[in-house]
Amino acid sequence: MTLVIAEAGRSIDLRQRAPTVQELPYARDFLSSPERGRFDRLFWVGGENVVIGGIPQVIVRTQDLNSGEGAIFNSARANRVPSLGDQEKLQKFLDDLHVEIESTRGKDDFCSVEEKTPKDDFHGERIRGEYATTARN
């Protein structure tokens, strides 16, 4: 089954991969009648093509009808380059953060992870990386 998204000028073979969140509003229409019924009992998915600030975007809202949990996805937010903003404010934030970190050094459990936190029961060990070590919650 091939899904054709005219607005995006592309097609997707749904036998090869699942649709992305942005493709969900279109993909639902390509489900068989029993699959669509099952999907509609579990989820609500809506999509809208909008232009905000001259940037075309796809806004997709999903909601689990059983739990009430939902999320909103915005294609432009997913593709944007992070902005550093005002360099002076950024530097002040980093300086304040450094002071905060240094003021707590040696005073909390995470300064001595191996001695002051329990191992993960699932693994029975810790996973150690260059910047982090796991602990049980």
Report in angstroms the alpha-carbon separations of 137 from 46, 91, 115.
36, 33, 15
The predicted-structure confidence for 36-50, as pLDDT tens digits, reads as follows 888 787 777 777 777
Question: Taking all residues of the chain, what is their mean pLDDT, rounded to a whole number?
Answer: 75
Q: Where are the domains of the chain?
A: 2-79, 82-137
Give dist(CA 12, CA 20) in Å, integer.
Answer: 10
List alpha helices for the chain, DSSP H.
24-27, 33-42, 75-79, 87-104, 113-116
Write down how long the chain is: 137
pLDDT score, position 11: 66
The predicted-structure confidence for 10-39, as pLDDT tens digits, reads as follows 666 666 776 777 677 777 777 788 888 887
pLDDT score, position 127: 80
Residue 6's pLDDT band (cuts 50, 70, 90)? very low
Does the pLDDT at position 132 exceed 60? yes
Give dist(CA 109, CA 115) in Å, integer.
Answer: 8
Task: Determine the distance from the C-alpha atom of residue 93 to the mean position of all C-alpha atoms in its chain, rounded to a whole number.
Answer: 25
